[in-house]
Amino acid sequence: MSEIFEKVKTIVSPYCKNQEALAAATEETSFLDDLSVNSARLVDIVIDFEDEFDIEVSDDEADAIRTMGDAVKVINAKV
């Protein structure tokens, strides 16, 4: 797994109600369905990505983030 994937895992951890699923997460793991993240909190996760990686994520890009892999792809394109 990439360094960015591991960082994403750390960032999303406080928001995940299913920590077992997070420990076993892959690129396909869904924030809402698998990790049981409250959908309202996706906004906060994106703000945390911006702070951690010093990037800006547009609203459209943020809306497209559904899985761990989606997040890594968006971040990879900007760092």
- Given a contact cutoff of 8 angstroms between Cβ atoms, the answer to whether 49 and 11 are in contact is yes
Whichever of 1 and 32 has its CB closer to another protein, that residue is 32
Whichever of 41 and 73 has its CB closer to another protein, that residue is 41
Spatial separation of the C-alpha atoms in residues 42 and 62, rounded to whole Å: 8
Residues 26-55 that bind another protein (CB under 8 A): 38, 40-44, 47
Residue 14 within binding range of another protein, rule CB under 8 A = yes
- Given a contact cutoff of 8 angstroms between Cβ atoms, the answer to whether 6 and 13 are in contact is no
* Residues of this chain that bind another protein (CB under 8 A): 14-17, 38, 40-44, 47
